[in-house]
Amino acid sequence: MSEIDWDLLHDRAKSIMKKAYAPYSNFPVGVAALVDDGRIVEGCNVENASYGLGLCAECGLISHLTSSGGGRLIAAVCVDAAGNFLSPCGRCRQLLFEHGGNNLLFMTPDGPTPMSTLLPWAFGPEDLGVHPHG
């Protein structure tokens, strides 16, 4: 795997954020991630009139990942409408961990941070005796 192009991931996250459907919160979110095969996958938040049914941007990202061939996430950037870095919520940290593990790097205002820092002592497939990624 080559060097991570954080600027490209940031630009892609900002671009997909503009496609978010956020009429209730007016808080569009975009996320872009590098996959271990070199692809970039993206997602944006999609809200719903039944507020609890809204989907975070990371949900769309994971759907894009699996529908485009799967793989392991290497690096990710999540942004708000101004392009500021955002932290994933708890549910999304778990989704990202499932598909990137402890070594997935997530951009924060302080720089790239491993998922093991964002979700310490994570529970994953291996805890259930499942090894979906080899």
Active centre residues (catalytic): 58
Distance between CA atoms of residues 121 and 17, nearest Å:
30
What is the token pair recorded at 102?
């402890």
Distance between CA atoms of residues 134 and 124, nearest Å:
14
Residue keyed to tokens 């941070």? 113
The answer to whether 81 and 28 have CB atoms below 8 angstroms apart is yes
3-state secondary structure of 112: strand
